[in-house]
């Protein structure tokens, strides 16, 4: 099938964003589908209009955009970090317009939380994949048909060697800026107080170029402390025990709930220090999470599309992604070389 993919995150130098975009290209290419058009994160915000009908009509009035939709068989949204607390209305507007033009519509890889409105558009979706139990519950409470598939990062290719030496270190990642006052404060304290703790941000300009080597580096670490959803996934893939702190939605809690694991979620410094001991003493809970995620492989994120004959290989789609991304990466923006707000700036020298 010919696909239009919305909210592609490859423009953001976050390990998870890069990996999810890579995974989607690989999965679609392997299934024989071609992404004719990608809209990257933030490119469609002009359609974030509160009135639903007005937003859909605004999309349909743009002749060039309408022609792009008509050239595709399906319009899909990468719901990563977007469809919660009233955000993502531009994506719903695009889906509504596509439905009126007779195109199939999908939402994949979604966090879905504190949602209002767009019931008609959501009820007409051909498929709706959410990543965690909390999102699934939100969808079902609204009477929507949804199914659970873990985060698409599981299909990404981390195939490059390590670019930093983290052997036996306690890796502390960054956090969502919305949690700077509590989670951020705790992680800054941990970095200054715990011997062997080193800072490794998930969101950093360098990751537009080196993200594929992150798994090799993390595989040698002693333990991971992360407040990033994709940090949890990367720790699992690396086979390392971890301590989790909350993000801006319930996506981490929802993952643990779906997997049925007893892994604590921490906020205070004392909770983190206690959880470090728990992580080493309760490896079985982490192995249970690993087994849960592994039970979904190979991912069926795009199974609703069936097989296609438009692409010949994953490599073809990866090449197309790179061509469409050209000139749109944010990796050089100063805001992506450290978090600000008193946070550690950039990667510390390691080795």
| Distance (Å, whole) CA 141 – CA 236 | 30
Give the pLDDT confidence score for residue 345 in this predicted structure.
Answer: 40
Domain ranges of the chain: 2-156+296-333, 170-294
| Confidence at residue 343, expressed as pLDDT on a 0 to 100 scale | 45
Report the C-alpha gap between 26 and 289 in whole angstroms. 24
pLDDT in tens, 236-248: 999 999 999 999 9
Strand bridging mode 2-8 / 127-130: unpaired
CATH topology match: 2-156+296-333 vs 170-294: yes
Backbone phi, psi, residue 174, to 5°: -80, -165
The pTM is what?
0.94
- Percent of the chain whose predicted confidence (pLDDT) is above 70: 96
pLDDT digits (tens, 9 = 90+) for 105-147: 999 999 999 999 999 999 999 999 999 999 999 999 999 999 9
Instruction: Answer for the pair 147, 116: CB distance below 8 angstroms, yes or no.
Output: no
Identify the three-state secondary structure at position 50: coil
Neighbour order of strands in the sheet with 170-172? 197-199, 170-172, 223-226, 242-244
Phi-psi region of 299 (alpha: psi -120 to 50; beta: other; left: phi over 0): beta
pLDDT in tens, 61-100: 999 999 999 999 999 999 998 899 888 999 999 999 999 9
**What pLDDT score does 342 carry?**
41
Which whole number is the average pLDDT over 214-230?
Answer: 97
Q: Output the CA torsion sign for 293, 336, 135, 149.
A: negative
Distance (Å, rounded) from C-alpha 251 to C-alpha 240? 20
DSSP 3-state assignment of 78? strand
Is the pLDDT confidence value at 344 over 90?
no
Pick the CATH number of 2-156+296-333 from 2.60.120, 3.40.50, 3.30.70, 2.60.40: 3.40.50
Q: How large a percentage of the chain has pLDDT more than 90?
A: 90
Q: What is the pLDDT of residues 276-286, one digit of tens each?
A: 999 999 999 99
Q: Which residue has the tokens 């996934």?
A: 233
Residue 236 CA to residue 4 CA, distance in Å, equals 31
Model confidence at 217, pLDDT cuts 50, 70, 90, reads very high
Handedness of CA 219, 221, 225, 227 (dihedral sign): negative
Tokens standing for residue 317: 């789609």
Please tell me the predicted confidence (pLDDT) of residue 81.
Answer: 84
* Res. 338 pLDDT band, cuts 50 70 90: low
Top CATH class, 170-294: alpha beta
């Amino acid at each position: 099938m010919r696909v239009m993919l919305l909210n592609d995150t490859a423009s953001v130098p976050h390990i998870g964003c890069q990996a999810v975009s890579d995974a989607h290209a690989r999965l679609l290419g392997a299934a024989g589908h071609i992404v004719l058009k990608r809209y990257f994160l933030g490119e469609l915000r002009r359609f974030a209009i509160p009135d639903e009908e007005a937003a859909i009509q605004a999309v349909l009035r743009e002749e060039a955009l309408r022609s792009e939709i008509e050239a595709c068989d399906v319009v899909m949204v990468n719901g990563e970090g977007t469809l919660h607390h009233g955000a993502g209305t531009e994506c719903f507007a695009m889906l509504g317009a596509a439905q009126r033009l007779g195109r199939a519509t999908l939402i994949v890889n979604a966090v879905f939380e504190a949602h209002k409105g767009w019931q008609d558009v959501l009820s007409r979706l051909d498929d709706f994949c959410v990543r965690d139990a909390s999102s699934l519950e939100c969808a079902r409470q609204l009477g929507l048909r949804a199914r659970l598939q873990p985060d698409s990062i599981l299909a990404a290719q981390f195939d490059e060697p390590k670019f930093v030496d983290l052997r036996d270190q306690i890796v502390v990642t960054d956090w969502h800026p919305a949690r700077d006052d509590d989670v951020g404060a705790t992680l800054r304290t941990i970095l200054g107080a715990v011997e062997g703790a080193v800072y490794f941000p998930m969101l950093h300009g360098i990751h537009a170029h080196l993200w594929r080597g992150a798994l090799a580096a993390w595989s040698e670490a002693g333990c991971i402390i992360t407040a990033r959803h994709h940090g949890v996934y990367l720790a699992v893939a690396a086979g390392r025990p971890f301590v989790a702190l909350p993000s801006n939605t319930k996506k981490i809690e929802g993952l643990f709930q779906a997997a049925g694991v007893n892994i604590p979620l921490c906020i205070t410094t004392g909770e983190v220090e206690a959880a470090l001991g728990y992580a080493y003493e309760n490896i079985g809970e982490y192995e249970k999470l690993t087994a849960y995620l592994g039970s979904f492989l190979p991912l069926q994120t795009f199974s609703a599309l069936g097989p296609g004959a438009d692409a010949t290989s994953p490599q073809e789609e990866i090449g197309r992604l790179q061509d469409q991304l050209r000139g749109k990466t944010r990796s050089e923006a100063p805001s992506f070389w450290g978090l600000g707000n008193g946070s550690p700036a950039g990667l510390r020298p390691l080795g």
